[in-house]
Amino acid sequence: MDKTGNEGAGNGGAATGGVTIGDAAKASGVNAKLIRYYESIGLIPQAGRTASGYRLYSPAEVHVLRFVRRARGLWFSIEQIQTLVGLWRDRDRSSAEVKRVAQAHMDELEAKIAELTAMRDSLRRLAEACHGDDRPDCPILHDLAG
C-alpha cells in the first residue's frame, strides 16, 4: 500500500499513472488550491479518488493544468481559458477561432496598457510637482481629494 492508500492495480488512476494533487501541482506549476478551484468550475474534470479519498490526476489532466498555467501567464481570463481548452481538445477546431480569441485578448491588453500608461503619466506629473520635503502642501493629495 502506498501513501495514497492504493494497493496496486485495479485502483483507478493510480494503476493508470494517476498522480496525487501535490504531485500534479509540482508537475504543472499550479498550486493545489487552484487545482481544486479549476476542478470546481469544470476547467478540469473531477479527479478520481483512491480508496483513502486522495484525488488522482491523469497525465492528460496535468497537461491541461500546464496549458492553463501558461494561459494565465498571458493574462487570459478564466472564461477565455475555458474557451481555449475547449478548442484545444476539439480536433475539428478551426485555427480562425483560436486566433479570434487571442486577438480579442490582445485588444483588451492594448486597452489596458493605454489605461496604465495614462495612469503612470498622470502620477509622474503629480510626483514631479510635489516638493517631497517637510512642507505639508502636496499636489498629489490635492489631486486625490478632488
What are the pLDDT digits (tens) for 16-39?
569 999 999 999 999 999 999 999
Where are the domains positioned within the chain?
1-92, 94-146
Distance, in Å, from the CA atom of 60 to the CA atom of 28, rounded to the nearest integer, reads 11
Residues 6+ apart with CB under 8 A from 21: 32, 35, 36, 47, 54, 55, 57
Pick the CATH number of 1-92 from 3.40.50.300, 3.30.70.100, 1.10.1660.10, 1.10.260.40: 1.10.1660.10
Instruction: Quick: pLDDT tens for 82-107.
Output: 999 999 999 999 999 999 999 999 99
Confidence of residue 74 (pLDDT cuts 50, 70, 90): very high
pTM for the structure as a whole: 0.77
Least trusted range by pLDDT, from 5-19, 100-114, 115-129: 5-19
Instruction: Quick: pLDDT tens for 47-59.
Output: 999 989 999 999 9
Residues 6+ apart with CB under 8 A from 38: 30, 44, 65, 68
